[in-house]
Amino acid sequence: MHTAIVRLFVAVALPADALAVVARLDRPDVPGVRWTTADQWHVTLRFLGEVEHPGPVAAALDGASLAPAIASLGPRVATLGRGVLMVPVAGLDSLAGAVVSATAGVGRPPGDRSFRGHLTLARARRGASVRGLAGAAVAATFPVEDVRLMRSRLGRGGARYEDVHVRPLGDFPRDP
């Protein structure tokens, strides 16, 4: 039997109103900079890398104690090094930690890099930089009601992502 290796990560998808806020940011044509598209926008909670089968990851997520969260974009577009332009995303540290704990036995070891919530806007090719593109104000708050196990397919136009499994997080507490 042939086992298909898949490239996986666990992420938070943005609702339409938060996506609209990101879509309004300027995207100037800069040599060596490739802008991501709305279908690529997400916040990675844990990158798993190449995994033989998504089933054990989905089962680990389903069995984990994961609580809903409130995420916040901003306050300003920033950089990760010279090569990545991103929107910071706060409010997901506990959820990311719970996902890492739940999936610790699957995929790449989590390593000792701490979680840094962000949505990637653009990547610079070697020799280019995104540093001059940072600084635009951006703000939105949204409820995180599920986490998604996503498959990444690399291609010439950038990565394409598809949901493999969606794990609901439960209901938000309601005011009495």
DSSP assignment, residue 89? E
For 108, the token pair is: 């790449």
CA angle 150, 80, 37 (to 5 degrees): 45
Pairing between strand 78-80 and 69-73?
A: unpaired
CA angle 129, 117, 108 (to 5 degrees): 90
85 strand-pairing partners: 79, 122
pLDDT tens-digit series, residues 97-139: 999 999 998 887 666 668 999 999 999 998 999 999 999 999 9
- Per-residue pLDDT at 169: 95
> Strand, coil or helix: what is 101?
helix
DSSP assignment, residue 61? H
- Per-residue pLDDT at 161: 94
- Per-residue pLDDT at 45: 96
Q: Pick from 28, 30, 36: which is nearest to 122 by CA?
A: 36
What residue spans define the domains of the chain?
A: 6-168
Residues of the chain with pLDDT under 70: 1-3, 109-113, 157, 171-176
- Per-residue pLDDT at 1: 47
Q: How far apart, in whole angstroms, are the C-alpha atoms of residue 123 and residue 134? A: 12
Regarding pTM above 0.75, the answer is: yes
Q: Are 132 and 79 in contact (CB under 8 A)?
A: no
Question: What does each C-alpha distance from 70 to 12, 123, 127, 144, 146 come to in angstroms?
Answer: 11, 27, 37, 6, 11
Pick the CATH number of 6-168 from 3.40.228.10, 3.90.1140.10, 2.60.90.10, 3.30.70.3040: 3.90.1140.10
